[in-house]
Amino acid sequence: AAMPKPVPVDVAEVARGPLEVTIDEDGITRVKDRYVVSLPLTGSLGRLELRAGDAVTEGGVLARLEPMAPQLLDERSRTQAEARVAAAQAAQRQARAAVARAEAALALAQQTEQRQTQLAERGGAAQVTLDQARFEARARQEELTSARFGVRVADYEVRMAQAAVGRIADARGKPDDAQEQLEVPSPITGRVLRVLHQQEGVVQAGTPVLELGDPSALEVVVDVLTADAVQIEPGANVELVRWGGPDTLTGRVQRVEPSAFTKISALGVEEQRVNVVVEITSPREHWEALGDNFRVEAHIRVWREEDVVRIPSSALFRRDEGWAVYAIDGEVARLRHVEVGRRNGFEAQITEGLEAGVQVIVHPSESVTDGVMVRAR
């Protein structure tokens, strides 16, 4: 009888080495601390000269407002202005309390970092523990910076609200032609992110006109499935790719936000997702072309081992409620049941059933069965 022809197959060798599992999703950049400038009084606003990207300095004039005629500033206007002062002062107290909490958290994190550094120098602390302590200290420093930004903004809000009350009181005793323009100063040093109101004319109190921020202080927001988010821990390493530059950027997970939201996928399926906030750790000069709301692709590491038995995921298939592969024994395919650990979509960890050096068949066709002769393509 004629010998059966061997089935041509693609093969791969079982190897030992590092394996990493990541969650891959799109993200967008955003300025960490941003501020929307609103008008403190109803009045006539001249055309704004500022454009998106223009630099502003703290205290510099952003806009000039001609307040309404004194006879139009009734008791209701004064009551509303006084209510805005009270609200601004309450926000100011909250902002100062947030700074106090952030300072205490930073002091504790720095003490922990110092202790872990001393232990590491004596060989009594693992590198991963020291890295986590350093990350916590850096994260608490970022939180303190944001809290202090909040205080500056709150102080500005109080000053503007008080200025509005004072202007209403002064206006009642002056004729129309004696009214002075109200200058709206910048609360921060940074750049104009967006111009929200460009038209000249009468505008109501509280109308937002400009959004300000510092584009050099960016973070990345990545929305992930909630089922994936439970695997992500603060401090996890992140790679940022396909952002437009030649280099892969590095980052760390700052936090996983506590509240999820519903999002409709491209296939029309409702998904529960949650935002993961990532700090960019690459030097600023590597990503200075990035701006607010730019798209990036994030690879968030959730697991890594340096020495595992691994095979291509395409060699695996389901068999008897478990996993199996076809290993090549000489010129014959042999069915082997295996135990699978972690998988990343390209490779899988084999915890039992295979050893390094064995050749396995990838993408096995229906022609491949246990005991059939095969030949590598």
Q: Would you state the pLDDT for residue 119?
A: 86
Task: Clarify whether residues 246 and 300 are in a common domain.
Answer: yes
Going by C-alpha positions, the residue among 295, 298, 313 that lies closest to residue 349 is 313
Task: Clarify whether residues 186 and 52 are in a common domain.
Answer: yes
Q: Indicate whether 2 belongs to any domain.
A: no
Strand partners, 220: 29, 278
Q: Which pair of tokens denotes residue 251?
A: 């980052």
Task: Clarify whether residues 366 and 318 are in a common domain.
Answer: yes
* Angle at which helices 127-171 and 75-121 cross, to 10°: 160
Task: Clarify whether residues 316 and 245 are in a common domain.
Answer: no
Would you give the DSSP letter of residue 168? Answer: H
Structure-derived torsion over alpha carbons of residues 293, 296, 300, 304, reported in degrees to the nearest 10: -160
Task: Clarify whether residues 74 and 99 are in a common domain.
Answer: yes
**How many C-alpha atoms does 124 have within 13 Å on its Cβ side?**
6
Residues 207, 197 contacting (CB under 8 angstroms): yes
Give the total number of structural domains in the chain: 4
Residue whose tokens read 């916590």: 136
**Per this entry, what is the length of the chain?**
377
Q: Would you state the pLDDT for residue 156?
A: 86
Among 251, 279, 305, the domain boundary falls at 305
Q: Indicate whether 1 belongs to any domain.
A: no
Task: Clarify whether residues 101 and 150 are in a common domain.
Answer: yes
Task: Clarify whether residues 13 and 51 are in a common domain.
Answer: no
3-state SS of 21-50 is: EEEEEEEEEEECCEEEEECCCCEEECCCCC
Task: Clarify whether residues 79 and 145 are in a common domain.
Answer: yes
CATH of the domain at 50: 2.40.50.100
C-alpha–C-alpha distance, residues 74 and 77, integer Å: 5
C-alpha–C-alpha distance, residues 315 and 321, integer Å: 16
Task: Clarify whether residues 99 and 171 are in a common domain.
Answer: yes
Angle at 234 between CA 233 and CA 240, to 5 degrees: 95
C-alpha–C-alpha distance, residues 241 and 297, integer Å: 5
Q: Indicate whether 278 belongs to any domain.
A: yes
Whole domain around residue 250: which residue ranges?
Answer: 21-31+216-305
Q: Would you state the pLDDT for residue 178?
A: 46
**How many C-alpha atoms does 142 have within 13 Å on its Cβ side?**
20
The Cβ of residue 317 has, within 10 Å, a number of other Cβ atoms equal to 13
CATH of the domain at 252: 2.40.30.170
Q: Which pair of tokens denotes residue 202?
A: 């009468």
C-alpha–C-alpha distance, residues 64 and 346, integer Å: 60
Task: Clarify whether residues 174 and 82 are in a common domain.
Answer: yes
Task: Clarify whether residues 173 and 313 are in a common domain.
Answer: no
Position 258, amino acid: P
Task: Clarify whether residues 92 and 48 are in a common domain.
Answer: no
Among 178, 202, 236, the domain boundary falls at 178
Tens of pLDDT along the chain (377 residues) come to 457 789 999 999 999 999 999 999 999 999 998 999 998 888 888 888 899 999 999 999 999 888 766 544 566 777 877 888 888 889 889 989 999 999 999 999 999 989 888 888 888 777 878 888 888 888 888 888 888 888 888 888 888 888 877 777 665 555 545 456 788 899 989 999 999 998 888 888 889 999 999 888 899 999 999 999 999 999 999 999 999 999 999 999 999 999 999 999 989 999 999 999 999 999 999 999 999 999 999 999 999 999 999 999 999 999 988 999 999 999 999 999 999 999 998 999 999 999 999 999 999 999 999 999 999 98
